[in-house]
Amino acid sequence: MIRHKDKIIALISICTLIVCAVTMVKLSSFTLLAQDSKTSYREGLNRHVLDTWSTDGAMEQLARYNKHLNNNKQPITVDPGNFSTVTEWWQAAAMFAWYIRSPLRYQCKQNLTRFGGWGLCQDEPYTVKAPCLVYSFGIAYDFSFDDAIGKLGCDVRSFDPSMLKVTDHRRSQNVHFYRYGLSDQNTNAFIPDFDEYVKQNQSWKVRTLKHLVGELGHQGKTIDVLKIDIETTEWQVLDNLMETEMLQYVRHLLIEYHFFPKRPPKSNFVHYFQVLTKLRQMGFREYYNKPHSEFLIPDAYRHQGETYYVNANFRPSNKGAE
């Protein structure tokens, strides 16, 4: 009887060891699989960033905006992979919030080179070096970017119609200032809205980029850097740049986006989201994103942010390149 019990105990011990061994093998296999999955994910993400679009995080932004700007009045019907499903202003605003927080689609191989408060990715074939041409819109008496990139040897053209204390002048050997604004129209009687830069009634001269390039004798030349910080007018301007096919000449696009409580009109948000989507589809890949202030109140919605792009389709042989 005792021997029989010993045999049973021995058998149980052997079975236990076998089960433990099998479990260890499974755990080891699972660990290796998990590590391989993480590696594959990183590699896939890097490829995704460079070559395709990721919708990661889009639904999170849509849910957040639905709650705060739409009071969860309706279920989210937007498919982030199908941009035609964006039909409401708050949906377009949420997609912008996603764009400016999503993974970069161009990874600069080196740290950005700073010029004043802005930065450039100096990878080939996007390197900016003399001789180079820069158009800078929105100065507000701060020429730090313009002066710094002028010292690089670039021909810099600076524009700001709100700077009433100065007139057109040559600031330095490479930097020229013009009291003109960038717009989607050509007029000498543009009336701006009041904001932190406009405190009194003003009438501005504004021009399209195509007009300015022709007026300054830069037709058929590459614009190495186009910097735009023009307090919500960037949306109409982007539309115009596409209509006039001026973006094919741009190597770097540095832009600060703005949504203020009263402008642009919410009725235009879906269209401007489509414009921004088209910009990405045209090959402008962001290498720097920086969200700024965000106020999620329906009647006082405000959101700002910077994005720097390289034109992935830019080629020196493009029509208009030097």
26 domain residue, yes or no: no
156 and 179 Cβ atoms separated by less than 8 Å = no
222 domain residue, yes or no: yes
**Neighbouring residues of 91: CB distance < 8 A, sequence distance ≥ 6:** 62, 65, 78, 270
230 and 137 Cβ atoms separated by less than 8 Å = yes
141 domain residue, yes or no: yes
Q: What pLDDT is stored for residue 41 in this prediction?
A: 24
286 domain residue, yes or no: yes
Q: What is the DSSP letter of 82?
A: B
204 domain residue, yes or no: yes
Number of structural domains the chain divides into: 1
125 domain residue, yes or no: yes
- For position 239, which CATH number holds? 3.40.50
Mean pLDDT by 10 residues, the chain (322 residues): 44 44 37 31 30 74 96 92 94 96 94 97 96 97 98 98 95 97 94 71 92 96 97 96 97 97 95 96 96 94 97 68 38
**Neighbouring residues of 154: CB distance < 8 A, sequence distance ≥ 6:** 128, 130, 131, 132, 133, 134, 174, 224, 225
Residue indicated by tokens 């540095």: 254
**Neighbouring residues of 160: CB distance < 8 A, sequence distance ≥ 6:** 137, 138, 139, 140, 177, 179, 181
321 and 222 Cβ atoms separated by less than 8 Å = yes
Domain that holds residue 241: 104-311
Q: What pLDDT is stored for residue 201 in this prediction?
A: 81
290 and 264 Cβ atoms separated by less than 8 Å = no
Provide the β-strand partners of residue 157: 135, 176
60 domain residue, yes or no: no
95 domain residue, yes or no: no
pTM passes above 0.95: no
What DSSP string describes 154-189?
Answer: EEEEEE-TT-TT--SEE-SSSEEEE--EE-SS-EEE
